[in-house]
Structure 1
Amino acid sequence: MEETYYTIGMAGHIDHGKTALTKALTDVDTDRLKEEKERGISIEPGYAPLQTEDGTHISIIDVPGHERFIRQMIAGVAGIDLVVLVVAADEGVMPQTEEHIEILRFLGIKQCIVAITKIDRVDDVMLELVKEDIEERLAGTIFDGAPSVMVDSLSGKGIPELKRTIFEELKKVEFRDAYGSFRLPIDQVFTVQGQGTVVRGTIYEGAIRRGSQLTLLPKGLKVKARQIQVHHEEQEDARAGQRTAINLGGVDRDQVARGDVLVASDHFLATGTIDVALTLAGGKFTPLKQRAPVKVHTGTSEVMGKIVFFDRNELSGTDEEVLCQIRLDEEIVVRRGDRFILRRPTPVETLGGGWIIQPEGGKYRFGAETVEKLRSMKEGTPEDLVEDALAKAILLDAKGLIQGTSLDEHVLQEAIAAGLDSGRLLELPQQKYALAKTFSKIRGEITGRLESYHAEFPMRQGIPKAELLQSLGAGYPKTFIEYSLNALSEKGEVRKDGQFMALAGFSPHLPKQWKARMEGIIASLEKDGLQAKKWDEYIEGTPLPKGGIPDFTAYLLQSGEAYRLAEDKLIHRTAFTESVSKLKSGTGAAFSLKEAKDALGVSRKYLIPFLELLDSLGATVREDEQRRWADPAQ
């Protein structure tokens, strides 16, 4: 049976007994700092293992309750599966408890147990009043109807029942994915003498083994997991849901900070701009102006930034979800769907929270169109997200798609398979992907460019491939252009002639407006036979545009209509064929210059260029003063 791992958070007002309750459940005192002992409050989150009989592994986090330490509370709660909301029977629900409930809601924590502590300090009537007050306060919240247990941590009263309730509620929790890419947001960093740098955190997803090569983001430092501990016990591996300490090799203590993230793949990106879906906290607050400074808590990160609205210039109380963007002062590492809390730095207050739509936000225009775009991204299926990423990037491999969509690797593969099955996606060599509609678009552009080129330059074989690649390069990656050209060639829509690309049905031809003039020049060249004049002399006096003469010359040579007899002379194909036949019939297998002259009856002025042309074409082979036919049978 597969082992399961969960993390529970103890949350509630200061001095309501969270640390004592944690010790009653686990026999571990989580107040580890000297100042915590002296002041009787938790400053940093404390951690303890809760032993079970069925092999379930549970970590309990005792998060700070004092308002001054709310940022540690947020960091501690991030990543938990279930919260035990602690309310002291002698004080009841406090304002700070309600703020904690808001924070837990924004962090997406759905499972809750209410632990009413210090019950030995009050009578039964008071207990009932406290219980009713809690039920009223939780009504309409995400924890409406949460089970409650009355306990006294010092006497142990109610502790067994609380344990049973915890185990029952954990059965309703969706188990964390241990098969995705490893990610651990760091919430504690310290050094151990003789060991070096140690970090702690709750593994959000994936798994890690001792000796694994990791990357510390956002700094991009390469590190190694030299040792792994789970609740002070050395382990060979750890997985999603576990509270883990990792001894890192290759990094100094001062290079690591709370909020950094350890990852085991290059699927994760550091980002400074996030698109978010924001829900406001209950109660009134001073309106938040466009680009106002805000503090963002996500995972274990706590960074300043500016909030950017696209449909308003000021945000006041509203029950509606606000789709907006936060431009951060420092880079963080997040994925789509990660939760965040938004606080105002001055005066300090929780504004709201929500989840991240797009980890790598772009620059958008103010207006309803951008809000609609964000809504589409928010509500999109994995297949939609893949298509959006490919519409933006044109061509991506699996790594690029994970970064562009922030989807889990398994979910991404399912989305790709669905896209390929439906024909909406194309798979290119080296497991790269593109949209079928992008191929249709470039197909139209390629054929359109070829049609235009053929119309402008009808005598050319086609457009040079390098020129075509360059003209399309501004809109498409070269790999995708090459793929498209090959695909269109296989479909018989385009043709490759050496380094030239042409439409399959195209053949070089004389332009309609100059056809008669050019045919007249060709006829004159044919008439002059082997004793052709300089090529320029045929062109002189004609109205042919100078810009078209090189194409006309190239057309005659490439089509085989003529041969280059010398640098400044051409010979018509008919004259060439007749001269070869005449020379062959007037000589033997080998012949001298004189014999050739006698056979053709022309001067050396015309004879030498003709013989050199035969040599260059491989029809004859020169040997000293003689030439022999390369293939006498021809």
Structure 2
Amino acid sequence: MEKRYYTIGMAGHIDHGKTTLTKALTSVDTDRLKEEKERNISIEPGYAPLYNDDHIEISVVDVPGHERFIRQMIAGVAGIDLVVLVVAADEGVMPQTREHLDILSLLGIKQTIVVLTKISKVEREMVDLALEEMMEELKGTDFDGSPFLLADSLSGEGVNELKEAIIHSLNSLPSRSVSGELRLPVDQVFTIKGQGTVVRGTVYEGSLETGQDLMILPQGIHTKAKQIQVHSDKKGAGYAGQRVAVNLSGVDYKKLKRGNVLVSSPHLYVSDTIDVCLDVLTNVKYDIKQRMPVMVHTGTSEVLGRLVFFDRNSAKGSTGNILCQIQLREPIMAKRGDRFIVRRSSPVETIGGGWVIQPNGGKYRYGEGTIELLQAETEGTPKDRILKVLDRYKSANRGFLLKETSLPEERMEKLLQGHEWIELSDSTVTHSKITDECRKTIDQVVSKYHEDFPLYRGINSGELKQSLKEYPGSLIDYVLEQGTYIQESGRVYLEGFSPQIPPEWEKRCEQLLALLETDGNKVRDMEEYFEQAGIPENWRSDFYHYFVQEKKIVPLDDRKAYSSKVYSEAITRLKHHTNDTFHIGEAKEVLGVSRKYMIPFLEKLDKEGLTIRMEGKRKWVSNVHKVGKQV
């Protein structure tokens, strides 16, 4: 059995005993700052090891309870698996108790243990009253039915029972995935003399090893893990669920901050626009208006943004999910499914939260159409999400798919093993549905070309791709290779198609070719033959192309051409009456033509690779007979 790693959180109202209880559980005072000691309150999240054996390792994060430090509290609970909600028996439910519950619910954290502390300070009746009040508070919430325990941190009463309850709860809870790409939201950045930059955080997913190449998002800074520590102990690796400190190489700590994310994969999105599914708290005091500025918390990041609604202008009193968008002032790293909290900056208030539908949000119009689009996004299966990307881009490399779908790499690779998925290259894939669509489109384009240009062998492949801009060239090449198409001399045509002269022009074209053959190797300009055969100017270019394409004529230059039969016979005669090398004068004598015909004829032989020009002579190449037969 593989070892599992968890981080739990201590949450609750200020001065309800979270830090003291953490110390009783772990023997570690998590208030490490001078100001925390002086004011006797937690300002930053504190961390400590709780339990470790061969099968399970548990860390504790003690989050600040004061309303002024809610943002630190939200950053502290990023990546926790279970919450110990601390309520002082002498005070009961307080404002931050409720706000912490709201935040935990919006972040999707449901595994909770409620602990009444300071029980030695009050009579049993007060303890029972506080228990009753807390149970009433949780009724109908995600935390209804959570276990309740009593503890006194100073006397130690109930502390061991709490520790056992935590271990028992986590033993029944699946651990975070240690496979796939690393994601470590950074909540602390500092520097150690002689060591350099260090970041701390809870590994959200994946794992990392000493010496591993890493990247810091959203800045895109490349770095390497020089050293890894777990609660001050040097380790060779860190795993999802663990609280780790990572010594980074080649990075100035001043360029980093809380909210950055340490990752191992380049296939993660950095975006300043996220499509979201938002739940608004029922107890908000102030209106939530269209394009209202809000503070967005996700992972350990805190970024200013604006709410953009597509089906309303106000959200106060709304129940159920609101499909909307948040436009951020600066980019963040996010994945589909990531939880977030939205708070009003002034007056300060937690107004809601939810999950990220699409970390790379688009530009949409106000209206029901956008809501339907976003609704489809929320319901899509992993396969649907891949197909949606392919519907838009037609093919995509794996890295791009990972970004667009926010799927774990292993999950995506397993999905892509089905026969309907098509490999276009080592990293680029598409789906049979897309290739079928592409094939139908190619059929339509090529068929229309045959109809419009019956004299041409087929459409130029470059022209074909230009007319199919929505499909990548590699996808078109794949479909052409698999379909009923012939590719020849840079042209594409349907199998079974052959160019045809329109019946009404057949006799005139035959007359032209006969005239050309009769004149042998002393031809006139092609325009004269077209004129003599009675072929109008608007047809001449197409017929000329057809004659060349079907090898009925061989152009010598841009004005003159030989009949293919005459051209082939001239090559044969010249070859038989010359040696391996010959002068232009010898060629003129053999063929009986003047220099104005001889020069373009010999240059044509050079161009086709039948002869090589060298020092005023020409030399026949070995494949002359083979080429001559093809001509």
Which whole-Å deviations, capped at 9, do the CAs of 1:26-61 have from their partners, x for residues lacking one? 111111111111111100001111124554211111
- The match for 1:511 is 502
- The match for 1:535 is 526
Q: Which range moves more in the overlay, 622-631 or 540-549? A: 622-631
- The match for 2:293 is 293
- The match for 1:364 is 364
Offset at 1:503? 1.9
Offset at 1:426? 1.7
Matched AA of 2:191: T
Q: CA RMSD in A?
A: 3.2
Cα distance in structure 2, aligned partners of 1:227 and 1:574 = 80
1:452 correspondence with 2:443: no
Offset at 1:440? 1.8
Matched AA of 1:487: Q
Cα distance in structure 1, aligned partners of 2:47 and 2:611 = 93
Equivalent position SS for 2:336: coil
Aligned CA distance change for structure 1 residues 536 and 166 (closer, same or farther; 3 Å): same
Matched AA of 2:490: Q
Cα distance in structure 1, aligned partners of 2:604 and 2:203 = 78
Cα distance in structure 2, aligned partners of 1:620 and 1:65 = 91
Matched AA of 1:475: E
Q: Which range moves more in the overlay, 14-23 or 126-135? A: 126-135
8 Å contact 1:391–1:435 — kept in the other structure? Answer: no
Cα distance in structure 2, aligned partners of 1:435 and 1:594 = 64
Which whole-Å deviations, capped at 9, do the CAs of 1:221-257 have from their partners, x for residues lacking one? 1112111111111111111000111111111121110
May I ask how many residue pairs the two structures share in their alignment? Answer: 623
1:250 correspondence with 2:250: yes
Cα distance in structure 1, aligned partners of 2:442 and 2:531 = 38
8 Å contact 1:198–1:246 — kept in the other structure? Answer: yes
After TM superposition, the structure 1 = structure 2 runs for residues 577-592 of structure 1, keeping only pairs within 5 Å, are none
Cα distance in structure 2, aligned partners of 1:129 and 1:431 = 63
Cα distance in structure 1, aligned partners of 2:597 and 2:79 = 91
Which whole-Å deviations, capped at 9, do the CAs of 1:64-115 have from their partners, x for residues lacking one? 0000000000000111000000000011111220111010001111100001
Matched AA of 2:491: F
Cα distance in structure 2, aligned partners of 1:626 and 1:153 = 104
8 Å contact 1:285–1:317 — kept in the other structure? Answer: no
Matched AA of 2:512: I
Cα distance in structure 1, aligned partners of 2:555 and 2:149 = 101
Q: Which range moves more in the overlay, 387-396 or 235-244? A: 387-396
8 Å contact 1:386–1:415 — kept in the other structure? Answer: no
Aligned CA distance change for structure 1 residues 42 and 514 (closer, same or farther; 3 Å): same
Aligned CA distance change for structure 1 residues 127 and 487 (closer, same or farther; 3 Å): same
Aligned CA distance change for structure 1 residues 36 and 596 (closer, same or farther; 3 Å): closer
Cα distance in structure 1, aligned partners of 2:354 and 2:604 = 81
Which whole-Å deviations, capped at 9, do the CAs of 1:157-197 have from their partners, x for residues lacking one? 11111111111111232210001101110011112222222
- The match for 2:475 is 480
Aligned CA distance change for structure 1 residues 366 and 541 (closer, same or farther; 3 Å): farther
Aligned CA distance change for structure 1 residues 625 and 30 (closer, same or farther; 3 Å): closer
Cα distance in structure 2, aligned partners of 1:394 and 1:620 = 47
Equivalent position SS for 2:416: helix
After TM superposition, the structure 1 = structure 2 runs for residues 205-220 of structure 1, keeping only pairs within 5 Å, are 205-220=205-220
Offset at 1:121? 1.1
1:118 correspondence with 2:109: no
8 Å contact 2:511–2:533 — kept in the other structure? Answer: no
For residue 437 of structure 2, the aligned residue among 432, 438, 441 is 441
8 Å contact 1:535–1:568 — kept in the other structure? Answer: yes
- The match for 2:318 is 318
Aligned CA distance change for structure 1 residues 597 and 28 (closer, same or farther; 3 Å): closer
8 Å contact 2:611–2:618 — kept in the other structure? Answer: no
Aligned CA distance change for structure 1 residues 383 and 612 (closer, same or farther; 3 Å): closer
8 Å contact 1:582–1:599 — kept in the other structure? Answer: yes
Cα distance in structure 2, aligned partners of 1:283 and 1:382 = 35
Cα distance in structure 1, aligned partners of 2:90 and 2:516 = 114
Q: Which range moves more in the overlay, 262-271 or 16-25? A: 262-271
1:561 correspondence with 2:552: yes
- The match for 1:337 is 337
After TM superposition, the structure 1 = structure 2 runs for residues 360-399 of structure 1, keeping only pairs within 5 Å, are 360-399=360-399
Matched AA of 1:304: L
Cα distance in structure 1, aligned partners of 2:509 and 2:80 = 83
For residue 489 of structure 2, the aligned residue among 466, 474, 498 is 498
- The match for 1:18 is 18
Matched AA of 2:70: I
Aligned CA distance change for structure 1 residues 452 and 622 (closer, same or farther; 3 Å): same
Aligned CA distance change for structure 1 residues 347 and 609 (closer, same or farther; 3 Å): closer
Which whole-Å deviations, capped at 9, do the CAs of 1:470-489 have from their partners, x for residues lacking one? 332x312222222232233x
Offset at 1:519? 2.9
Unaligned runs of at least 5 residues, structure 1: none
Aligned CA distance change for structure 1 residues 393 and 134 (closer, same or farther; 3 Å): same
- The match for 1:274 is 274
Cα distance in structure 1, aligned partners of 2:312 and 2:188 = 39
Cα distance in structure 2, aligned partners of 1:283 and 1:466 = 62
- The match for 1:348 is 348
Offset at 1:468? 2.3
Offset at 1:399? 1.3
- The match for 1:62 is 62
Cα distance in structure 1, aligned partners of 2:176 and 2:618 = 88
Cα distance in structure 1, aligned partners of 2:589 and 2:55 = 107
8 Å contact 1:530–1:606 — kept in the other structure? Answer: no
Q: Which range moves more in the overlay, 501-510 or 374-383? A: 501-510
Aligned CA distance change for structure 1 residues 317 and 609 (closer, same or farther; 3 Å): same
Matched AA of 1:561: K
- The match for 1:468 is 464
Equivalent position SS for 2:479: helix
Cα distance in structure 2, aligned partners of 1:177 and 1:504 = 52
Equivalent position SS for 2:347: coil
After TM superposition, the structure 1 = structure 2 runs for residues 28-427 of structure 1, keeping only pairs within 5 Å, are 28-53=28-53, 55-417=55-417, 420-421=418-419, 423=420, 425-427=421-423
8 Å contact 2:530–2:536 — kept in the other structure? Answer: no
Equivalent position SS for 1:186: strand
- Give the TM-score normalised by structure 1: 0.90
Equivalent position SS for 1:354: strand
Matched AA of 1:461: R
Aligned CA distance change for structure 1 residues 48 and 505 (closer, same or farther; 3 Å): same
Aligned CA distance change for structure 1 residues 97 and 580 (closer, same or farther; 3 Å): closer
Which whole-Å deviations, capped at 9, do the CAs of 1:569-623 have from their partners, x for residues lacking one? 44434566788899999x89999999999999x7769996898599668999999
- The match for 1:550 is 541
Which whole-Å deviations, capped at 9, do the CAs of 1:527-547 have from their partners, x for residues lacking one? 555555442222226663434
Matched AA of 2:357: I
Cα distance in structure 2, aligned partners of 1:427 and 1:593 = 55
Cα distance in structure 2, aligned partners of 1:272 and 1:9 = 29
Unaligned runs of at least 5 residues, structure 2: none
Cα distance in structure 1, aligned partners of 2:618 and 2:438 = 57
Which whole-Å deviations, capped at 9, do the CAs of 1:283-305 have from their partners, x for residues lacking one? 14322121111110000000000
8 Å contact 2:277–2:357 — kept in the other structure? Answer: yes
Matched AA of 2:194: G
Offset at 1:567? 6.0
